[in-house]
């Protein structure tokens, strides 16, 4: 899943170059990193990417190993449920195969543990014909993530714990989040899934029948015809998340407890965890001379950045545009993007 525009990473992320196509945390782009993470587990010929139509060319360039026919541009953004349904129909010839659903913009560095978790998830998907999700051990009472409530006893395969899921819950308020975390019975919803192709198609038929029937009427055997039909059908699909549309309603849901590190890198603050850090807590990907400055987050490419007497700023240079933002206001970078849209500065979007 490589949709999404990542306005929170403006000015690095642009309409033509969203977060997943950028090297936000390292030298590779996030989608290159996601693809590389599957090495040894899923052969490149069996990887599909669903993205916005505008990004298909860039993705093919960034990952030349992908089959051209496997990089699919959505006619418009319709959230994750439509994206997953589209992918499942593309694979419908193999109903017994296991399909992993992975966002292209997460950071996971422990590839070995990641692959081990995926293997266990695949095994559960086959053994129990389950919808399998990946639960992330909460490290704080996050209000920005959905949670999974666990049910019954945990079991283990090959050192990886798993459990049935009682329910999916939406982003909670602070006090609810606290109670979830202290109970020990909740995990963050990592937004990654494993299931048999046939099982998720059945789930769409049951829980999102309109989406299912719209897509099932398409003749998928002829790519050109399918492409034209999709352009007509896709904009009318229900725009909802797979969590809300399927997982919250489904039974027989399992969670694998992730043993790998995980970050959805939702803001510069989160990205800065991957930058090098000086003694004053300044996180920078560029040469930084910080005089009496603390808690900065800096990415200005090859540019030298010098600061005097400033604290807790996000300083991001993207060549034609520069952002200087109070760290506490990181979520409001969206306001800049809104103003660019409202004004005549569309070329900076």
Site residues for a second copy per CB under 8 A: 10-11, 287, 289, 291-292, 300, 302-310, 313, 315, 317, 319-326, 328-329, 332-333, 335-336, 339-340, 343, 345, 348
Q: Whole-number minimum distance, CB 263 to a second copy, in Å? A: 23
Return the number of the residue (57 or 324) whose C-beta is nearest a second copy.
324
Tokens of 21: 């196509």
Q: Strand 297-299 to strand 49-52: parallel, antiparallel, or no bridges (unpaired)?
A: unpaired
Q: Whole-number minimum distance, CB 202 to a second copy, in Å? A: 47
Q: Whole-number minimum distance, CB 32 to a second copy, in Å? A: 28
Return the number of the residue (35 or 268) whose C-beta is nearest a second copy.
268
Whole-angstrom distance, CA of residue 42 vs CA of residue 157? 20
Cα atoms found within 13 Å of the Cα of residue 37, Cβ hemisphere only: 27
Return the number of the residue (200 or 300) whose C-beta is nearest a second copy.
300
Backbone angles phi, psi at 291, to 5 degrees: -95, 120
Return the number of the residue (155 or 324) whose C-beta is nearest a second copy.
324
Q: Whole-number minimum distance, CB 349 to a second copy, in Å? A: 11
Return the number of the residue (273 or 306) whose C-beta is nearest a second copy.
306
Whole-angstrom distance, CA of residue 193 vs CA of residue 101? 5
Greatest distance between any 2 Cα atoms in the chain: 64
> Looking at the DSSP assignment, which residues form a beta bridge with residue 201?
none
Q: Whole-number minimum distance, CB 8 to a second copy, in Å? A: 12
- The Cα-based distances of 232 to 14, 128, 215, 235 in angstroms read 27, 36, 11, 7
């Amino acid at each position: 899943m490589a949709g999404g525009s990542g306005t929170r990473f403006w000015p690095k992320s642009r309409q033509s170059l969203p977060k997943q196509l950028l090297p936000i945390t390292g030298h590779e782009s996030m989608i290159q990193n996601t693809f590389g993470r599957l090495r040894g587990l899923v052969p490149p010929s069996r990887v599909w990417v669903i993205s916005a139509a505008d990004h298909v060319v860039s993705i093919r360039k960034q990952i030349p190993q992908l089959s051209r026919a496997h990089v699919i541009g959505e006619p418009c953004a319709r959230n994750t449920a439509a994206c997953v349904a589209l992918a499942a129909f593309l694979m419908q010839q193999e109903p017994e195969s296991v399909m992993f659903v992975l966002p292209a913009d997460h950071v996971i560095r422990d590839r070995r543990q990641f692959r081990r978790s995926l293997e266990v998830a695949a095994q559960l998907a086959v053994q129990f014909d389950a919808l399998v999700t990946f639960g992330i051990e909460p490290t704080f009472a996050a209000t920005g993530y959905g949670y999974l409530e666990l049910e019954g006893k945990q079991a283990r395969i090959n050192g990886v714990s798993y459990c049935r899921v009682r329910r999916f819950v939406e982003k909670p308020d602070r006090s609810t989040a606290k109670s979830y975390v202290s109970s020990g019975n909740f995990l963050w919803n990592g937004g990654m899934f494993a299931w048999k192709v046939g099982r998720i198609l059945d789930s769409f038929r049951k829980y999102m029948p309109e989406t299912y029937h719209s897509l099932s009427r398409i003749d998928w055997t002829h790519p050109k015809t399918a492409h034209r039909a999709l352009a007509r059908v896709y904009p009318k699909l229900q725009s909802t998340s797979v969590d809300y549309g399927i997982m919250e309603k489904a039974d027989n849901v399992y969670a694998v407890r992730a043993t790998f590190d995980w970050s959805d890198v939702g803001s510069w603050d989160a990205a800065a965890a991957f930058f090098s850090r000086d003694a004053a807590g300044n996180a920078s990907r560029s040469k930084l001379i910080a005089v009496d400055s603390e808690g900065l987050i800096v990415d200005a490419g090859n540019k030298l950045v010098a600061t005097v007497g400033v604290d807790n700023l996000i300083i991001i240079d993207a060549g034609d545009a520069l952002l200087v933002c109070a760290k506490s206001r990181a979520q409001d970078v969206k306001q800049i993007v809104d103003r660019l849209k409202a004004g005549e500065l569309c070329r900076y979007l």
